[in-house]
């Protein structure tokens, strides 16, 4: 998953403003970030590095006035995480004209396309699927619209893309619409960003959500075109976890969905608790919904430290355990002697939740009942969210009762799958069902 931003303005936009919008998408990726563009006086500029948005651009140290630019914050799903070559944007030149690309999603036929290009003598500088898109674009002839339409017949999977092509900004979503994209601006400036909340936070007027399979070429004029359409598969996990709660994604308010899911959970719950406690921040709105519907009081029984970065996150079990304990602090005043309804958005491996349940018990909770605002995750994602292999997914190996025992809870309740499927009609739900409507590689 990643966050992407693009702008074109004849008068020019400072890089610092572009970075403000990108910071509003920091939750979509914390590994690396970068930008590429052309200044109002025609200079090509770019910079990218590992790290959080603010840190990376502090290192750059300039604030050019940009006519056209794109920027990216990275959360890797394809390509080694800490390899600088995989950081976006990917930048190239065609006949002296800068062509740069940022991508949110994941190509499911990356290996095949890469193999084809390699057999033609193309040399790759990274292990990222996004580079394949740039190279295919560069190979095609004609206008940006013609290039993209032809390329769209070759790309499979999820690809929401922003491109700088000379002094034009190009934006498009794939024919299934897995990943979001919003358009903003006031006529003089045209903006694109993964989430509308990032535009609003930077005082940019939100114009519309880019439709599935829709594209724009922004030069002196704004030209709209259709890439192609295959079906409708926007990612429901964006609503569950990934997007910011103040965003609207795929025509729905993220906040509203999480609140409703909490209410549905409360309606389905036979257990009576004394206090509803979210796992912050991801479980907070679900817990508000649960509390409102059940009448059980909501309390912040876990306090989250905002000073522990992802650098703490390590693949080993012990490091994960220590990370949870460095990030979340139980509040004895809220938890001691209580029957706790502990609410989170989703449960993937189960090891983090087990640690949280232990922490809640250690300060004296009488009972801990875990409530999850989505159905069991039974299958990996191939479309841009880095869920683990099937073997690592708790719900792929265990029944709900077994997971409840594994996480050492008194009980566990998920959002019922049938209800979720009804609510998410027209969305991708493959990681909850194991059924894929798009061909996926046999790599996990
Ligand atoms: S498989 Fe799950 S995470 Fe991946 S796109 Fe579909 S709903 Fe989203």
Q: Which atom of ligand 1 is nearest to the CA of 385?
A: 3
Distance 70 CA to ligand 1 centre (A): 25
Q: Residue 281, preceding bond cis, omega within 30 degrees?
A: yes
**What does the domain layout of the chain look like in residue ranges?**
2-232, 253-433
* CATH fold group of domain 253-433: Rossmann fold (3.40.50)
Q: pLDDT tens digits, residue range 167-206?
A: 999 999 999 999 999 999 998 999 999 999 999 999 999 9
Residue 243 near ligand 1, beta carbon < 6 Å: no
Whether 370 contacts 419, CB under 8 Å: no
* Global confidence as pTM: 0.94
Residue 381 near ligand 1, beta carbon < 6 Å: yes
pLDDT at site 306: 83
SS3 63: coil
Residue whose CA lies nearest to ligand 1 atom number 5: 235
Q: State the DSSP code for 221.
A: S
pLDDT at site 317: 67
pLDDT at site 202: 97
Q: pLDDT tens digits, residue range 69-87?
A: 999 999 876 666 667 899 9
Tokens of 37: 């563009």
Whether 393 contacts 378, CB under 8 Å: yes
Q: Which atom of ligand 1 is nearest to the CA of 379?
A: 1
Angle at 88 between CA 46 and CA 27, to 5 degrees: 115
Strands across the sheet with 157-165, in order?
90-94, 97-107, 157-165, 168-172, 214-218, 222-226
pLDDT at site 313: 41
Distance 233 CA to ligand 1 centre (A): 9
Q: State the DSSP code for 36.
A: E
* CATH fold group of domain 2-232: 3.60.20
Q: Which atom of ligand 1 is nearest to the CA of 238?
A: 8
Nearest in space to 21 (alpha carbons), one of 188, 203, 180:
203
Distance 138 CA to ligand 1 centre (A): 29
Separation between Cα atoms, residue 37 and residue 24, nearest integer Å: 20
pLDDT at site 91: 97
pLDDT at site 311: 41
Active-site position among 2, 235, 381, 431? 2
Long-range contacts for 352-357 (Cβ within 8 Å, ≥24 apart)? Answer: 352/320, 352/324, 353/279, 353/407, 353/409, 354/406, 354/407, 354/408, 355/320, 355/321, 355/324, 355/325, 356/279, 356/302, 356/324, 356/328, 357/407, 357/408, 357/409
Residue whose CA lies nearest to ligand 1 atom number 4: 381
Residue 385 near ligand 1, beta carbon < 6 Å: yes
Out of 428, 434, 436, mutate this one to test ligand 1's pocket (max ligand atoms within 8 Å of CB): namely 428
pLDDT at site 81: 64
Separation between Cα atoms, residue 394 and residue 117, nearest integer Å: 38
Distance 85 CA to ligand 1 centre (A): 27
DSSP 77-100: SSS-TT-GGGPSPEEEEETTEEEE
Nearest in space to 309 (alpha carbons), one of 123, 130, 53:
53
In b/e form, how buried is each residue of 89-103, taking b as 16+ CB within 10 angstroms? bbbbeeeeebbbbbb
Q: What are phi and psi of 301, to 5 degrees?
A: -80, -10
Whether 287 contacts 277, CB under 8 Å: yes
Strand partners, 211: none
Nearest in space to 405 (alpha carbons), one of 338, 363, 365, 353:
353
Distance 429 CA to ligand 1 centre (A): 6
Separation between Cα atoms, residue 367 and residue 349, nearest integer Å: 22
Distance 62 CA to ligand 1 centre (A): 38
In b/e form, how buried is each residue of 311-344, taking b as 16+ CB within 10 angstroms? eeeeeeeeebeebbeebbebeeebbeebbbbbbb
Residue 431 near ligand 1, beta carbon < 6 Å: yes
Catalytic status, residue 381: no
pLDDT at site 385: 85
Task: Report residues of the chain scoring pLDDT below 50.
Answer: 311-314, 444
Evaluated on CA atoms 130, 434, 424, 230, the torsion sign reads: positive
């Amino acid at each position: 998953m990643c966050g992407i931003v693009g702008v074109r303005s004849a008068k020019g936009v400072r890089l610092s403003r572009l970075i403000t919008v990108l910071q509003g998408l920091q939750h979509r990726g914390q590994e690396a970030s970068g930008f590429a563009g052309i200044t109002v006086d025609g200079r090509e500029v770019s910079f990218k590095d590992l790290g959080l948005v603010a840190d990376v651009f502090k290192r750059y140290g300039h604030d050019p006035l940009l006519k056209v630019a794109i920027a990216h914050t990275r959360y890797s799903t394809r390509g080694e995480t800490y390899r600088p070559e995989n950081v976006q944007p990917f930048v190239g030149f065609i006949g002296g004209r800068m062509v740069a690309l940022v991508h949110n999603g994941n190509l499911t036929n990356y290996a095949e396309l890469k193999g084809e290009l390699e057999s033609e003598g193309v040399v790759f500088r990274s292990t990222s699927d996004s580079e394949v898109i740039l190279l295919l674009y560069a190979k095609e002839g004609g206008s940006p619209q013609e290039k993209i339409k032809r390329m769209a017949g070759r790309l499979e999977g999820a690809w929401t893309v922003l491109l700088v092509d000379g002094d034009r900004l190009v934006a498009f979503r794939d024919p299934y619409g897995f990943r979001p994209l919003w358009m903003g601006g006031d006529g003089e400036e045209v903006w694109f960003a993964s989430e509308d909340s990032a535009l609003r936070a930077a005082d940019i007027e939100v114009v519309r959500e880019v439709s599935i399979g829709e594209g724009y070429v922004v030069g002196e004029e704004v030209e709209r075109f259709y890439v192609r359409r295959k079906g409708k598969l926007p990612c429901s996990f964006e609503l569950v976890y990934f997007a910011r709660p103040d965003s609207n994604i795929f025509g729905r308010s993220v906040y509203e969905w999480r609140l409703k899911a909490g209410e549905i959970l409360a309606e389905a719950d036979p257990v009576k608790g004394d206090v509803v406690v979210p796992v912050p921040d991801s479980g907070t709105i679900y817990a508000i919904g649960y509390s409102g519907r059940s009448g059980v009081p909501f309390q912040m029984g876990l306090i989250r430290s905002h000073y522990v970065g992802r650098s703490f996150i390590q693949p080993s079990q012990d490091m994960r355990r220590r990370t949870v304990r460095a990030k979340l602090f139980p509040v004895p005043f809220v938890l001691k002697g209580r029957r706790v309804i502990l609410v989170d958005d989703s449960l993937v491996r189960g090891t983090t939740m087990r640690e949280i349940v232990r922490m809640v018990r250690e300060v004296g909770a009488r009972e801990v009942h875990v409530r999850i605002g989505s159905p069991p995750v039974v299958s990996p994602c191939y479309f841009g969210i880095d869920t683990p292999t099937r073997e690592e997914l708790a719900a792929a190996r265990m029944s709900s009762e077994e997971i409840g025992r594994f996480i050492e809870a008194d009980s566990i309740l998920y959002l019922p799958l049938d209800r979720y499927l009804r609510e998410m009609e027209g969305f991708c739900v493959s990681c909850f069902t194991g059924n894929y409507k798009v061909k996926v590689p046999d790599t996990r």
